[in-house]
Structure 1
Amino acid sequence: MVIEYIRYTVPARRADEFEQAYRAASSVLDDDPHCLAYEIARGVEEPEHYTVRIEWDSIEGHEQGFRRSPRFGEFFAAVKPFFSHIEEMKHYDARFGAR
């Protein structure tokens, strides 16, 4: 498993639009066999900051499976208006944690 983190800075006036975009895109993530889990979190102290966390079965599953899937275009269309607001988009290998 790998975790993709996408950090956004979204102007307050577009926060509702951003959240709605990810609500629309979430159905694609829900249906994709390579997506294990995801969450969209909004900053408390700095509400213009959002972090999207997606657990993928592998980098290949994300980049070769999901991005080449028939529904990827639907996902991309929903979130594309916010690509200019991305501060970071990278994969991480989880080392340890707790529930």
Structure 2
Amino acid sequence: MTVEYIRYRIAADQQPAFIEAIRYTNKLLAAAPDCLRYQLAHCEEDAELFIWRIEWTSVERHLQGFRKSAEFGVFFQLVKPFYASIQEMNHYMVVE
């Protein structure tokens, strides 16, 4: 299993649209066979920060499976308006 963390800085006026886009994309993630779990968290200390945590069966299945699927095209169009707001997007191996 691998955990993908995507950290965003979203201005207050964009937050409702961002959250709505993530809600739609989460439906696509729920149907993806290699996606195990997902969660969006909003920082309590800095109101512009969000972290989207997505668990995948593996980095390879995420990149070669989901990202090459027809669903990814829809997924990407939903999150594309917020792509410039990404501060980090990496996969992490759980060690404990």
> Separation in 2 of the partners of 1:71 and 1:55?
17
> Separation in 1 of the partners of 2:9 and 2:47?
9
List, as ranges, runs of 4+ consecutive aligned residues in structure 1 with deviation greater than 4 Å. Answer: none
Matches within 5 A, 1:78-89: 78-89=78-89
> Separation in 1 of the partners of 2:14 and 2:55?
26
Query: 1:40 Cα shift?
Result: 0.4
- Superposed CA RMSD: 0.5
Matches within 5 A, 1:23-38: 23-38=23-38
Query: 1:70 Cα shift?
Result: 1.4
> Separation in 2 of the partners of 1:70 and 1:11?
30
TM-score (norm 2): 0.98
TM-score (norm 1): 0.95
State the identity as a percent.
45
Aligned length: 96
> Separation in 2 of the partners of 1:22 and 1:95?
27
> Separation in 1 of the partners of 2:34 and 2:80?
21
Match of 2:49 in 1: 49
What amino acid maps onto 1:31 in structure 2?
A: A
Matches within 5 A, 1:60-79: 60-79=60-79
User: Structure 1: any 5+ residue segments left out of the alignment?
Assistant: none
Structure with greater proportional helix content = 2
> Separation in 2 of the partners of 1:23 and 1:2?
22
Cα deviation digits, residues 2-35 of structure 1 (max 9, x gap): 0000000000110111000101111110000010
